[in-house]
Structure 1
Amino acid sequence: MAAYCVGLTGGIASGKTAVGRAFEALGIAVADADLAAREAVAAGSAGLAEVVAAFGPDILATDGSLDRAAMRQRVFGDDSARKRLEAIVHPRVRETLMRQCAQAPGAYAIAAIPLLTEVGGRIAYPWLQRFLVVDAPVETQRARLIQRDGIDAALADKMIAAQATREQRLAIADDVIVNNGSLDDLQRHVAALDARYRAFAGAA
């Protein structure tokens, strides 16, 4: 049971996934908010039933699962619809992450939450003892997005602008990894933080 939990976040294409994998390679359990969000509205779940009650059956695919493209269409640019959806999904995500971190073996656990800043930071996740932000310059994020997703610069900029700013994320950080170097650099940063977190967990 991990009594010490670290929240991992960062902007789109900042390298959060690579950082999470590096911690996993060191034997640390990483609970993933994106996976928890999918589980929250999985076919046949109470969460999906609540989404259908709120938005109607046309957000379902023919197999009874959530039609994510249709759902995105419904909430894109509609703040009240997005908030309604978040009110259904986010509490379930928080509960799943807290359970997974509490049950994780090892000295500490990590909760990877891409929108940690946007959903309220410490207010939403008071059980996380420390926040680690993976940071990258906006130009680096843009270049990675264009390469990774095969999109143009205008769409990349829109995706970056839809999230919290670098400044907002850094304001909640206890630790920061600036990910603008090589994978070896990243792994060295993670190894140093792993040693620090093991010490914190031992003293907790």
Structure 2
Amino acid sequence: MQRCAWCSDDPLYIHYHDHEWGVPSRDPQVLFEFLLLEAFQAGLSWITVLRKRERYRQVLFGFDPQRLAQLSDAEIDQLMQDPGIIRNRRKLEAVRNNARAWLQLEDPAAFIWSFVDGRPLINHFTTREQVPAVTAEAEAMSRALKKAGFSFVGPTICYAYMQACGLVMDHTTDCHRHAPLAAAAADAALIRVH
């Protein structure tokens, strides 16, 4: 079965590639979780974050923004001792900060999806090299999130976030996921071909 070139033979990566990456999500909980996970990825590989995802779910209260907005400095100190997560104080403080900013958004899902006019961008790249690291939409999202008080939301992180949550679909055309995701978007009249 043909997959995107970035997908290794790691079963965790394969499952993520086949079932999550590029699949449109409008669930605020999923969108929030990925926003935090993408921040943890900064400077690291995505597989590193994926391998720690379940531990993050345990120690970050299932990515509950209400609870994370109330994280104390002592709780962050305790998290810094957990070998099951990426122990970076700035990123852990960003969890609390971003949870607070998220809760200030009137409709978080609508806000996130507004950067693609509410419809996923379906790209038709044939090679991994054609897939951009940043787009105008990601730059706009980054500016808006920073203005809203978020941190660890640079344009590159925002584009990876958009890919993860299906705001853009960047499976290459030779990947077995490209055709079904493109067709599903077209069937739902949600598609914006790019």
Q: TM-score range by the shorter chain?
A: under 0.3
Structure with bigger strand share is: 1
Higher RCO (CA-CA < 8 Å; seq separation 6+): 1
TM-score of the superposed pair, with normalisation by structure 1? 0.27
Bigger Cα Rg: 1
